[in-house]
């Protein structure tokens, strides 16, 4: 039996986020392009050397990016929208980053989630433009590793079917032309890699785990038949992940040298397929046995036995023991964590530790010898110790869950009746303007928070600073002319982390960062125990802000499903059970805000859609408990209390029924990057509750013109009544700079007032 350990990909941000710092320094003009490229290369090579030092047999290249891998592939193929005025030569960094982030005169490309993860990618836009290979960056990375480190690596590329499925701009008539133009480019890339000496090439096709129609299956078969005919020497590892392989009987026979399967999230289906259909004996099997999406230590004995069972069932002579997906979805190493509870720390496994687990399993399955005699027993002891930890046995939480009844998921009054009461109570103007919640966290805010955490300033000094910053932004909102204010969230580093720090059952890391989008990194909290509310978390700051203005200040909370989906979650309970624990805790916080006189409370659920199973036929079960968790948190408020929620990049037209089921009085949603699609969706699927249009893109530094926003508002008003219509940015403003934020909001308010005036003139 020939076994090798490998991963599908490795985190590119670095243990100290050196990648993020390098990128953002370049954006600020603090590095020349030459220095930037050199430093990115240094980071890239250091990652390869580090993986080699951990004992990994096959190391992957091509998993590194300057922003996003889908964007990398689009620019490599010249798939640049016309609005960026690209000249048709090599794509320069200015064009590359304008596509991702926008520029002064053009909007950024759309951004949406990568399958059911909390990572968001840049959506390639096909406009019928001629395509060509501008630069084979994957070849560059392969040669770099070969000649500078002496490493024979495994290049990886996102596969053609997945790339097309995740792109936009084509219809059923133009899809074939798009694919016909792409395939020769893939052929060029693969041939150049083969000519350079690449033994294996990993082709990532996660879209093959989605529901596939017969025509999809035929398309995939045609694509890979063509690749095999045009590059017969290429040994392709067709890599799937996030679920079981769809149409297994047909696709397992594709003309590739190997197939990688996910035996974590797709374990049941892939095992059933193996039993029923077997596995081709002339192919290498990639066994995704270590979870690439959670942070929990694996039971080495169990994983080794399962690997053996898979090998026996498949009957293959060669296999790779690997992660279930890229390790970019987990932090880099537990070695950076010095303050965690020891019982918890011992039960954790990040990217580096997962690689070590892979090498242990590979060694044992190969020759029945564990590399280190205590590895198996240590993993068992660590897992059992966490199971017995007191935080997982909270009697009050268990009692609260037992008391939940069906009526706790239902608002006592229908929306239309609540709407009338709220209109009378709040007395807001037509088309009220507001923001999503956060305001720019300046360098001063960050420095002051750091000084406080290091105990360089007192609690009182820090609190006074936050009060002053909140008061300053209340004044700014008054000057801008917004109708409903927020306090700015200057006390919060992250919309999930903040709440986790104040709830029981959560733990927090020092350097366990993962990428959310672009250079935006987050440290997901770890839900390792029973979640319990112990005291108000947000009341003080919101009430203090409310005392500074006659305008309403929204209470700002993160919803239970978003907290769940943006955390690393314990694996001994179902996600539904954990979501309900969080919902009950938030319910107590909402009551505290109400009792303090806060009339508008926003409970954000931007990650509601991210938890969806990848196949639509599996959605209903998830949506049932996810929507109920939101309603469990929010349904017991008074009828006059207005509940808002927020979502972004959620493909509204495919998600309108779950959004409606939330029964939130107002939902704010992204409109700026995909406005036309949303308008068409609302024409086909009218939405009766309140809706706040995200009329400009906060992920771009550009200031939108009044005319741009006005156009969106005019088109939207044709299908949304004034009783429903709110106006807001498409997301929180924490990452933006103050000057651009104020200018953008002023333009937004001006456009809303123009709409208000036009409407009044027609009455």
Rounded CA gap, 99 and 88, in Å? 15
> 611 Cβ partners below 8 Å, 6+ apart?
116, 561, 564, 565, 575, 622, 626
Quick check: 504 and 535 in contact, CB under 8 A?
no
Query: Known binder of ligand: residue 27?
Result: no
Residue with tokens 């005699």: 373
Q: Which of 240, 220, 42, 262 is nearest to 158 (CA)?
A: 240
Rounded CA gap, 285 and 399, in Å? 47
Query: Known binder of ligand: residue 551?
Result: no
> 377 Cβ partners below 8 Å, 6+ apart?
none
How far does the chain reach from its first CA to its final CA, in angstroms? 80
Query: Known binder of ligand: residue 726?
Result: no
Rounded CA gap, 407 and 616, in Å? 28
Q: Which of 270, 738, 340, 730 is nearest to 528 (CA)?
A: 340
Report the sign of the C-alpha dihedral through residues 144, 146, 150, 151, in that order: positive
Query: Known binder of ligand: residue 604?
Result: yes
Other C-beta atoms lying within 10 Å of the C-beta of residue 508: 17
Rounded CA gap, 631 and 615, in Å? 24
Max distance between CA atoms of the chain, in angstroms, equals 83
String of DSSP letters for 195-257: HTT-S-EEEE-GGGGS---HHHHHHHHHHHHHHHHH-TT--EEEE--SSPPTTHHHHTTSS-S
Quick check: 211 and 616 in contact, CB under 8 A?
yes
Query: Known binder of ligand: residue 19?
Result: yes
Rounded CA gap, 117 and 515, in Å? 11
Query: Known binder of ligand: residue 438?
Result: yes
Q: Could you confirm whether 699 is annotated as catalytic?
A: yes
**CA 377, 381, 386: angle at the middle one, nearest 5?**
155
Query: Known binder of ligand: residue 754?
Result: no
Query: Known binder of ligand: residue 113?
Result: yes
Q: What's the Cα-to-Cα distance from 169 to each of 19, 47, 110, 651, 674, rounded to whole Å?
A: 32, 36, 11, 15, 12
The pair phi, psi for residue 669, each rounded to 5°, is -145, 150
Query: Known binder of ligand: residue 44?
Result: no
Query: Known binder of ligand: residue 712?
Result: no
SS3 654: helix
Query: Known binder of ligand: residue 646?
Result: yes
Catalytic annotation, pick one of 50, 120, 675, 699: 699
The pair phi, psi for residue 437, each rounded to 5°, is 155, -55
Query: Known binder of ligand: residue 621?
Result: no
Other C-beta atoms lying within 10 Å of the C-beta of residue 639: 17
Q: Which of 746, 757, 747, 744 is nearest to 717 (CA)?
A: 757
Rounded CA gap, 513 and 520, in Å? 10
The two tokens of residue 225 are: 């038949």
Residue with tokens 């017995």: 388
Query: Known binder of ligand: residue 437?
Result: yes
Rounded CA gap, 612 and 631, in Å? 18
**CA 56, 58, 61: angle at the middle one, nearest 5?**
110
Q: Which of 130, 126, 131 is nearest to 169 (CA)?
A: 126
Q: How many CA atoms lie within 13 A of 189 on its CB side?
A: 30
SS3 703: coil
Residue with tokens 């939330």: 662
Residue 664: DSSP 8-state: -
Query: Known binder of ligand: residue 474?
Result: no
Indicate the burial class of 395 (C-beta count within 10 angstroms; 0-12, 13-18, 19 or more): exposed
Quick check: 317 and 1 in contact, CB under 8 A?
yes
Query: Known binder of ligand: residue 436?
Result: yes
Rounded CA gap, 322 and 357, in Å? 10
Query: Known binder of ligand: residue 504?
Result: no
Indicate the annotated binding residues for 5-methyltetrahydropteroyltri-L-glutamate: 17-20, 113, 520-521, 566, 610
Indicate the annotated binding residues for L-homocysteine: 436-438, 489, 604
Indicate the annotated binding residues for L-methionine: 436-438, 489, 604
| Catalytic residue set | 699
Indicate the annotated binding residues: 17-20, 113, 436-438, 489, 520-521, 566, 604, 610, 646, 648, 670, 731
């Amino acid at each position: 039996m020939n076994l090798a350990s490998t991963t599908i990909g490795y985190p590119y941000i670095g243990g100290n986020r050196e990648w993020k710092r390098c990128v953002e320094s370049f954006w600020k003009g603090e590095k020349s392009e030459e220095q930037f490229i050199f430093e990115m290369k240094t980071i890239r090579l250091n990652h390869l050397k580090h993986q080699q030092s951990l004992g990994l047999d096959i190391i992957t290249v091509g998993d590194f990016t300057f922003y996003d891998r889908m964007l990398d592939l689009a620019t490599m193929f010249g798939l640049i929208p016309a609005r960026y005025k690209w000249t048709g030569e090599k794509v320069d960094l200015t064009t590359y980053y304008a596509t991702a982030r926008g520029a002064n005169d053009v909007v950024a490309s759309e951004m949406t989630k990568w399958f059911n993860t909390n990572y968001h990618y840049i959506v390639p836009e096909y406009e019928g433009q001629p395509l060509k290979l501008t630069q084979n960056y994957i070849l560059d990375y392969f040669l770099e590793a070969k000649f500078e480190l002496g490493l024979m690596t495994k290049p990886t590329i996102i596969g053609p079917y997945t790339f097309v499925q995740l792109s936009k701009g084509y219809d059923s008539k133009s899809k074939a032309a798009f694919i016909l133009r792409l395939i020769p480019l893939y052929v060029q890339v693969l041939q150049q890699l083969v000519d350079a000496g690449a033994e294996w090439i990993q082709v990532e096709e996660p879209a093959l785990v989605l529901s596939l129609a017969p025509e999809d299956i035929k398309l995939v078969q045609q694509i890979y038949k063509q690749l095999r005919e045009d590059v017969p020497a290429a040994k392709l590892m067709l890599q799937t992940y996030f679920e079981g392989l769809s149409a297994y009987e047909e696709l397992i026979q594709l003309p590739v040298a190997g197939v990688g399967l996910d035996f974590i999230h797709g374990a049941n289906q892939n095992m059933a397929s193996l039993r029923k259909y077997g596995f081709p004996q002339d192919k290498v099997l990639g066994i995704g046995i270590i979870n690439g999406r959670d942070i929990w230590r694996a039971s080495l004995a169990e994983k080794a036995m399962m690997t053996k069972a898979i090998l026996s069932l498949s009957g293959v002579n060669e296999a790779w023991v690997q992660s279930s997906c890229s390790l970019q979805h987990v932090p880099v190493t537990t070695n950076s964590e010095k303050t965690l509870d020891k019982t918890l720390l011992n039960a954790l496994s990040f990217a580096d530790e997962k690689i070590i687990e892979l090498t242990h399993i590979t060694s044992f399955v190969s020759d029945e010898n564990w590399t280190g005699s205590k590895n198996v027993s240590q993993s068992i002891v660590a897992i059992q110790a966490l199971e017995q930890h007191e935080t997982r046995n909270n009697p009050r939480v268990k009692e609260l869950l037992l008391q939940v009844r069906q009526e706790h998921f239902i608002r006592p009054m229908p929306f239309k009746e609540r709407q009338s009461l709220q209109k009378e109570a709040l007395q807001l103007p037509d088309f009220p303007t507001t923001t999503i919640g956060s305001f720019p966290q300046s360098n001063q805010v960050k420095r002051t928070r750091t000084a406080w955490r290091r105990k360089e300033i007192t609690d009182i000094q820090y609190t006074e600073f936050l009060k002053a910053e909140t008061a300053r932004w209340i004044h700014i909102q008054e000057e801008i002319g917004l109708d409903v204010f927020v306090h700015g969230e200057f006390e919060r580093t992250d919309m999930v982390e903040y709440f986790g720090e104040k709830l029981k059952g959560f733990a927090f890391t020092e350097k366990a960062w993962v990428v959310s989008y672009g250079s935006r990194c987050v440290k997901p909290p770890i839900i390792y125990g029973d979640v319990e509310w112990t005291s108000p978390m947000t009341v003080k700051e919101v009430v203090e802000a409310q005392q500074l203005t006659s305008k309403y200040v929204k209470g700002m909370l993160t919803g239970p499903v978003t907290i769940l989906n943006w955390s690393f979650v314990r694996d001994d309970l179902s996600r539904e059970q954990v979501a309900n624990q969080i919902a009950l805790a938030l319910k107590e916080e909402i009551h505290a805000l109400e009792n303090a006189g806060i009339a508008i409370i926003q409970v954000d659920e931007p990650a509601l859609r991210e938890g969806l199973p990848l196949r639509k036929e599996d959605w209903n079960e998830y949506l049932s408990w996810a929507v109920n968790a939101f309603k469990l948190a929010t349904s017991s408020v008074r009828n006059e209390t207005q509940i808002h929620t927020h979502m972004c990049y959620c493909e509204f037209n495919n998600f309108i029924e779950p959004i409606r089921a939330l029964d939130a009085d107002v939902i704010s949603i992204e409109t700026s990057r995909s406005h036309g699609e949303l308008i068409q969706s609302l024409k086909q699927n009218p939405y009766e509750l309140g809706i706040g249009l995200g009329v400009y893109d906060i992920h771009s530094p550009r200031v939108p013109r009044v005319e741009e926003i006005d156009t969106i508002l005019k088109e939207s008003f044709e299908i949304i009544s004034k009783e429903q219509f709110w106006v807001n940015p498409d997301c929180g403003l924490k990452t933006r700079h103050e000057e651009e934020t104020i200018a953008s909001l002023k333009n937004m308010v001006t456009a809303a007032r123009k709409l208000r005036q036009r409407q009044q003139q027609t009455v």
